[in-house]
Amino acid sequence: MIEQIKADLAGADARSIIHYIDQHFGSNAIFSTSFGIEDQVITHLIAEAKSSISIFTLDTGRLFPETYYVWNRTLDLYKLKIKAYYPETKSVEQLLETKGPSSFYNSVDDRKECCYIRKIEPLKRAIKGYQIWITGIRSEQSQNRDQMDFIEWDDANQIIKIHPLYNWTLSDVEKYLKDNFVPYNPLHDKGFVSIGCQPCTRAVQEGEDFRAGRWWWEDKSKKECGLHVTHK
């Protein structure tokens, strides 16, 4: 199926990709948004197409106030249903009881444990039963992500992933937001390029790469939470 989709979408732009997914998969496709600038572009495209593609977000319990702001703005503007998934309460309670609220600073393993509880386990619940998972990934976002393809099989989650903006540059994204009056997180104007949980995200300094502001205390090669595993 993946090879057929790749053939059908060869050379297609993001708008055409969204229309294709809607026409061929409809409610069997789901889009994950964290309300970052790439995700806001895709949300705009889905709303524009009046698509039946489902949308969800992961509320980790550690998000920036500005993220909730753009979440509200998005709901108000597009009138879309965005389902929120949360971590299992018992898992969070056990983590904080045994390791405290900031264990993710201790080691890569502890950080990945927190990511699993707050993001990966809820994600698995969110995408279960769907055929297509749409993301806002772009190839230039990190060294790991340029090893992906714009359509791929996610073996861990048994689902086809499609990245409509995979070949877009940051300038492409910013121009689309401006030209189409798309709401976005105000933290992007303060140097926050990739925005996740508040304790794990900082502004990026001039000359630093895209992911430098995420888990900045860790080695560059380890800066993924596990949502998007690279397959070559």
- The residues pairing with 85 across neighbouring beta strands, listed in sequence order, are 58
Q: Cβ of 128: how many Cβ atoms within 10 Å?
A: 11
Q: Edge to edge, what strands does the sheet with 151-154 contain?
A: 83-85, 54-58, 29-32, 132-134, 159-162, 151-154
Q: How far apart are CA 95 and CA 3, in angstroms?
A: 42
Is the four-CA dihedral 46, 229, 13, 165 of positive or negative sign? positive
Identity of the amino acid at 38: E
Which of the following is catalytic: 114, 197, 200, 225?
225
Q: Is 115 a catalytic residue?
A: no
Catalytic residue IDs: 225
